[in-house]
Structure 1
Amino acid sequence: MHGKTIIRSLRNTILALPLAGAMLLAMPAHGQGQPPQADMQISKEQRQQVVDRLIAELKLGYVFPEKAKQLEQALHRYQRSAGYAAITSANQLAEELTTQIRQQTGDLHLRVRYSEKDLPVLPPGGTPSPQVMAEQAANMRGRNYGVERVERLPCNVGYLKLNEFAPAQYAGETLAAAMTMMSNLDGLIIDLRDNGGGSPETVALLASYVLDERTRLNDNYYRIDDLTEQNWSTTFVAGKPFGQQKPLYILTSKRTFSAAEDFSYAMKNLKRATIVGETTGGGAHPGRVVRLDAHFGAFVPTGRSISPITHTNWEGVGVAPDVAAAAKDALRVAQTALLNDLLKTASSEQQTQRLKQRLDAIGKES
Structure 2
Amino acid sequence: MTLLRELITARDTLGMADSGVNRRTLLGGTAIGLAGMAGAAGVASAEPAGAQATAMGPWTYVPPGESIKAALDTGARAVQLGDGDYRISEPLVLPSGATIRGLGRRTRLLATTTMTTVIAIGNGGPVESVHVADLLIECDGKASTGIDLNVVGTTGNYYWEPDSICRLDNLRIYQPVLDGVQYRGEDTQSCVSSRIRVRDAGRYGYHIQAPDNWWIACEATTSKQTGSSAGFGVFGANNFFQSCKAWYCRDYGFHVRGVRNKFIGCEAQDTRSHGWYIEWGRNVYTGCSADSASFYDVGGTAAAADGFYVVDGGDTSMVGCQAFDRKADGHAPQQRYGFNVPASMITNGQLVGHSGYDNVSGLVNRR
Q: Shared fold by TM > 0.5?
A: no
Between Structure 1 and Structure 2, the one with more strand by share is 2
Bigger Rg over Cα: 2
- Report the TM range for the smaller structure's normalisation: under 0.3
Could you state the TM-score of these two structures normalised by the residue count of structure 1?
Answer: 0.24
Could you state the TM-score of these two structures normalised by the residue count of structure 2?
Answer: 0.24
Between Structure 1 and Structure 2, the one with more helix by share is 1
| Greater RCO (Cα-Cα under 8 Å, separation 6 or more) | 1
